[in-house]
Amino acid sequence: MDNAEFAGSAEAVGLPAEEKKLATIVYVLQAVGFFSGITALIGVIINHIKKGEMTNEIIKSHFSWQLRTFWWGLLWSALAIIAATFTLGIGGFLFIPVFVWLVYRVVKGWMRLNDGKSV
């Protein structure tokens, strides 16, 4: 079976292999970030450093998606922390929709990247 027949290969969906690999690494870092926040921070740093070097429009859409996921997730998490602080912990329930939203964004983006589609 050659690369063109293998649906999972970057070439099969017309994406530059190195760019797809970098976007995949950032999705992995974001996913691991659910357990260790530092990896999500590393992912956003990679996004900001490499964003201008991306040539493929599909990969660019994933970089934008990843950046928005991180920064909006950080904002909503900060608001949940503030709410939890001022409501003696009751506002901590706000972390549930934030977590679900973050998981959704990472899973959706990663699946569309693997399918060679933009987000």
The percentage of residues in the chain with a pLDDT greater than 90, rounded to a whole number, is 83
Q: What are phi and psi of 10, to 5 degrees?
A: -60, -35
Tell me which residue of 94, 114, 107 sits closest to 30, measured CA to CA.
107
Q: What is the pLDDT of residue 70?
A: 97
Q: What is the mean pLDDT of residues 21-38?
A: 96
Tell me the C-alpha distance between 71 and 15, whole Å. Answer: 26
What pLDDT, in 10s, does the model give residues 43-72?
Answer: 999 999 999 999 999 999 999 999 999 999
Q: What is the mean pLDDT of residues 86-107?
A: 94
Tell me the C-alpha distance between 63 and 59, whole Å. Answer: 6
For the chain, the domains span 16-114
Q: How many CB atoms lie within 10 A of CB 119?
A: 18
